[in-house]
Amino acid sequence: MTQMTPELMAHHMGLDIPDFDQIGYYGADYGTMKPYHKVGNLLFLSGHVAQIGTEITHKGRLGKDLTTEQGYAAARQTGLNVLGGIKQAVGSLDRVKSIVRTLNFVVCSPDYEDVHKVSSGLSDLFVEVFGHNTGLGGRATIGIMALAGGVCFETWATVELQD
Render pLDDT for 34-78 as a digit per residue (tens, 0 to 9). 999 999 999 999 999 999 988 999 999 999 999 999 999 999 999
Residue 99 lies in a domain: yes
Residue 3 lies in a domain: no
Residue 60 lies in a domain: yes
Over pLDDT 90: what percentage of the chain?
90
Q: Which residues pair with 100 in a beta bridge?
A: none
Q: State how many domains the chain has.
A: 1
Residue 10 lies in a domain: no
Question: At 161, is the secondary structure helix, strand, or coil?
Answer: strand
For the CA atoms of 73, 79, 84, 90, what is the dihedral angle to 10 degrees? -170
C-beta of residue 116 within 8 angstroms of C-beta of residue 85: no
Low-confidence ranges of the chain (pLDDT < 50): none
Question: Tell me, what CATH number does 123's domain have?
Answer: 3.30.1330.40
- pLDDT averaged over every residue in the chain: 96
Cα separation, 122 vs 110, in Å, equals 22
Q: Which residues pair with 48 in a beta bridge?
A: 155
